[in-house]
Structure formats: C-alpha cells, structure tokens
Structure 1
Amino acid sequence: MQKNGPLALLFHALVIAFVLAPLVVVCLVAFTPENTLTIPTVRFSLRWFRAILDYPDFITAFGNSLWLATLAATLSAAIAVPAGLAIDRYRFAGRDALNALFLSPLIIPHLVLGVAFLRFFALVGVTGSFAWLVMSHVIIVTPYVLRLVIAALSGLDRGAEQAAMTLGASRLTVFRRITLPMILPGVTGGWLLAFINSFDELTMSIFVTSPATVTLPVRMYMYATDSIDPMMAAVSALMIALTAIAMLVLDRVFGLDKILVGEK
C-alpha cells in the first residue's frame, strides 16, 4: 500500500478540516452584523470588533495576559536552558528524577494545580499577587521549552564547541557564541509555545487571579457566563490571528521545520 496514496491524502485532508473547521466558524461569526451567533450570509460587519474597544475590561485583561505570558515564557526559557544542558550532557544521581519533576506539570490536570496553588497562596498570604501568578504560569509552561531545548541539544554537533575550547575559549564564551546560537531555534520555538500556552491558560488561572490581575481567557469566561453574543467570537478571532502571525514570523525567521526537530 502506498503511503501517499489517494486514501492517505483524503484521510489527512479530513483530519485537517476537522481541526480547522471550528476556528473557521468562529472567525466567520465574528464578522456577523447580527446580535446572535450566526454566520453572516448577506454582508460582513466589523461591529463586534469595534464593540471590544467599548469594553475596557477586555483591554485591561489583554494587557495582563500579554505581560503575564511574556514574563512566564522568558523565565521558563531562562530555567529550561541550563536545566536542558544539565539533563542532556551530564550523568548524575537524580537526573531522571529531575527530568520527571520538570515534566510533571504536563500530566497533572490544571484544575488540580489551580486548587493547589490557591491553597498554597492563601497559606503564605500572597493571594492575588501578580508575581506569584507569573510563577504559577512558569511552572506549567517550562516543560514545553525544556523539551525543545533538549531536542536541540541532542541534535547538536559538538565539534565546534570542542574546537573552541581547544583554542582556549572559556565555557561561558563557548556557550554564548557557539552553543546558544546553534540551539536558538529550539529555544525560540519553546518560548513561543510557552507564550501561547500561558496566554491561553484558563483552568488554573481562574483559581489564582484577582480582580486586578484577571487575564483575557478568564475575562472571556466571566463574560460568557452572563451573556453570549458575537463579541466573544470577535475576541477569539483576534487571538487566533495573533497566534497565526506569531507562527508566521517564527517560520520566516527560523523555519518551523528546524524548530520542531531542534536543528539549526
């Protein structure tokens, strides 16, 4: 049986259509001129995109999410790079346990994490703190960066590093001028995945946000519990567009194929 036969192509096309159909429907509904969640059939309108500007809570929540996701992704990258170097290049007691600890947030339900963080923050008296909200997001997004960093390191040719050290370069210089540039696609891809996951996080954030630190997904959830109108579709369409633009820029700069395999 041919791997790229008509049936295989049809199967892949159906899978892609199944995944993209909800996103396409949401984007179409965002342009409806009606007051209900309907796909426009006569004309398109920017009514609900303009309505977002009249709802300042969404603007504030967007700023909170943007700042939160940027800090969480950056801190997770700062943690994942040295952790990835240690796990990939050194054999020490507890190495597997350390790796499992870093990856454990992937298998723990975010509902459980949210309840645990809420209880912990209440005990230490930091409920509603933006700094602790950032740290909670760092915990759940670090595994995404770590996996891509380890993948990039495992596919790295260490000949250039060894040559530089032979010529007298220090370990810090080798890392800064050789290792880091070579694994930069993996680090950047991990940062972007961490940013997207932090920006879209809802389940855990519901438990640890305060009125002053409400994120955009939480604000959307709160709004949807009171009213359902196409403005939610407009906000969702903007989030989809921002994610698509970020992926396009990343593909143009580094190439998504290189990032996914962790190669330069």
Structure 2
Amino acid sequence: MSKNGPLALSFHALVVVFMLAPLVVVCLVAFTPENTLSLPWHGFSLRWFRAVFERADFIQSFYNSLILAVVAATLATFIAVPAALAITRYRFPGRGFLNGLFLSPIIIPHLVLGVAMLRLFALMGVNGSFVWLMFAHVVVITPYVLRLVIAASIGMDRSAEQAAESLGASRFTLFRLITLPMILPGVAGGWLLAFINSFDEVTLSIFVTSPSTQTLPVRMYVYATESIDPMMAAVSALVIALTAATMIILDRVYGLDRVLVGRH
C-alpha cells in the first residue's frame, strides 16, 4: 500500500489536471485581445465579454435557458419525489415497468428523442412552443432526480415515521415534517443535477426550439457554425463562473457533501 500510495496520488492528480485543463484554457482565451482563439500572450482584454453583453440574442437565449432549467428541474422534482417513494415503499402491479419507464430517457440517445419529439410536436402543431420545449426537458432530466431520491429513500430510517404515525400524524404532516427533511439531500442533489443537465442540453433542444425559444447552448452551437472567434470562449467562461458560483452558494447554504453524497 505504501508503494502504491504516491503512484495512486499522482494518477489522481493527472486525472484532475486533464479534466480542468480545457476549462482553464477556455477561460484564458476569453481574455485575449486578438481576433483569433489564442492565449492572451500580449495582455488581457475584456473586449469579448463586452461583445457578449452587446448581443441581444445571447442575452435572450441565456434568460430562456435559465427560466427553462429552473422550471423544468422543479417540475421534474415534483414528479420524481412521489414516484420514488411509491417505487421504494409499495409493491404493486407494473412497479418495475414504471421504474423502467421513468429511467428510460437515460438509455435512449437524445438525438433519437429529439427526432421523435420533433415529429410528435409537428403532428400536434406545437412546434416552437416554450411549454412543449419544457415538457421535452422534463422528460430527459426526471431520471436524474428519481435516481437520487430513490437512493435517499432506500437509505432512510423509517422509525421516526412509524412513531409519528402511531401518534396520529396525518400523511401530509408525516411527509412535510419527517420524510421530506430526511430525503432532502437526495431531492436537492437531484434538482441540481436536473438543472445543470437542462441548462446544458443541446442535442435534444436543437430539434424542438424555435428562434424565439432558442436556448444558450443552441445559440452557441449555431454561432460556432457561422464564425470562430473568442466570443464563444467568453460565453463559456461566463457559464463556468455561473456554475461555480451556484456550487459555492449551495455549499455555503446547505453543504455539497450532504447534497451529492446524501449524508445527514
């Protein structure tokens, strides 16, 4: 073990560097004063960040993504929590089918889902609708919430629930005061994963968005096909900063170890 200790530590350090290096390079390129994707060898500049905030289409796409991710993650949580409790606590016909149905969007490629939903929305005459775009996102992010809530529900001690039930507590009171606080790390972690996946979703969104409902990842993809300049690096740096700030706030308010690991 003593011989493998430094080797394992070096390996883990290389993996971390390999994962973080692209993010660091993107953030550095965002500050270049040049017109090409190059590191800021000749000084730092905020010209590309100013260019981002001068683009009304990028600002609108960011608001679309933010609203979509918040609402879709919240709806997915409202669906996943009762579904997870039903799957883990009760045995009923179709229980396995229900579990597989909820988790199936993880298995099906988003390209296939995008084409299928494009066809479905075209038949329904709702192409380009923000509501139906939200429905598509709820479908693909619900499994992330469901898996974490199932894990939290299986690992919880139900003795407190049984004691409260024996004292006459109603089902709603039981859920609000005992069950929900005990599975809250799984719920919060699931919501966070759902939010991130919805905000970053591009493959599915390409098929079901319209110019008025275009999300930020789709707008970035379209822009990247038209031109190559450091403005994409500036947008990426802003998204990285937003994600990091969200994680820091969540850690300060609630604790990432409880959210991601499910500790109480």
With the length of structure 2 as denominator, give the TM-score of the two structures: 0.97
Q: Which amino acid aligns with 1:261?
A: V
* Alignment RMSD: 1.2
Q: Report the Cα distance in structure 2 between the residues aligned to 1:58 and 1:47, rounded to whole angstroms.
A: 16
Q: Report the Cα distance in structure 1 between the residues aligned to 2:256 and 2:86, rounded to whole angstroms.
A: 26
Q: Aligned residue pairs: how many?
A: 264
Q: Which amino acid aligns with 1:37?
A: L
| TM-fit CA distance, 1:3 | 8.9
Residue number in structure 2 paired with 1:232:
232
Q: Give a deviation string over 1:161-184, Cα, whole Å, max 9, x none.
A: 111111110111100111111211
Q: Which amino acid aligns with 1:251?
A: D
Confirm whether residue 219 of structure 1 aligns to residue 219 of structure 2.
Answer: yes
| TM-fit CA distance, 1:259 | 2.0
Residue number in structure 2 paired with 1:166:
166
Q: 1:125 to 1:45 in 2, by over 3 A?
A: same
Residue number in structure 2 paired with 1:66:
66
C-alpha contact 1:155 1:262 (8 A) present in aligned 2: no
Structure 2 counterparts to residues 113-192 of structure 1, below 5 A: 113-192=113-192
Confirm whether residue 18 of structure 1 aligns to residue 8 of structure 2.
Answer: no
Residue number in structure 2 paired with 1:6:
6
Q: Report the Cα distance in structure 2 between the residues aligned to 1:179 and 1:217, rounded to whole angstroms.
A: 37
Q: 1:184 to 1:4 in 2, by over 3 A?
A: farther
Q: Which amino acid aligns with 1:121?
A: F
| TM-fit CA distance, 1:2 | 4.6
Q: Secondary structure at the match of 1:5?
A: helix
Q: 1:142 to 1:3 in 2, by over 3 A?
A: farther
Residue number in structure 2 paired with 1:241:
241
Residue number in structure 2 paired with 1:98:
98
Higher mean Cα deviation, 249-258 or 135-144?
Answer: 249-258
| TM-fit CA distance, 1:255 | 2.1
Q: Secondary structure at the match of 2:203?
A: coil
Q: Which amino acid aligns with 1:41?
A: W
Q: Give a deviation string over 1:121-147, Cα, whole Å, max 9, x none.
A: 001111111100000000000011111
Q: Report the Cα distance in structure 2 between the residues aligned to 1:9 and 1:186, rounded to whole angstroms.
A: 30
Q: Report the Cα distance in structure 2 between the residues aligned to 1:23 and 1:123, rounded to whole angstroms.
A: 41
Q: Which amino acid aligns with 2:106?
A: L
| TM-fit CA distance, 1:42 | 2.8
| TM-fit CA distance, 1:244 | 1.1
Q: 5+ residue gaps in structure 2?
A: none
C-alpha contact 1:65 1:199 (8 A) present in aligned 2: yes
Q: Report the Cα distance in structure 2 between the residues aligned to 1:263 and 1:78, rounded to whole angstroms.
A: 22
Q: Report the Cα distance in structure 2 between the residues aligned to 1:6 and 1:241, rounded to whole angstroms.
A: 32
| TM-fit CA distance, 1:103 | 0.7
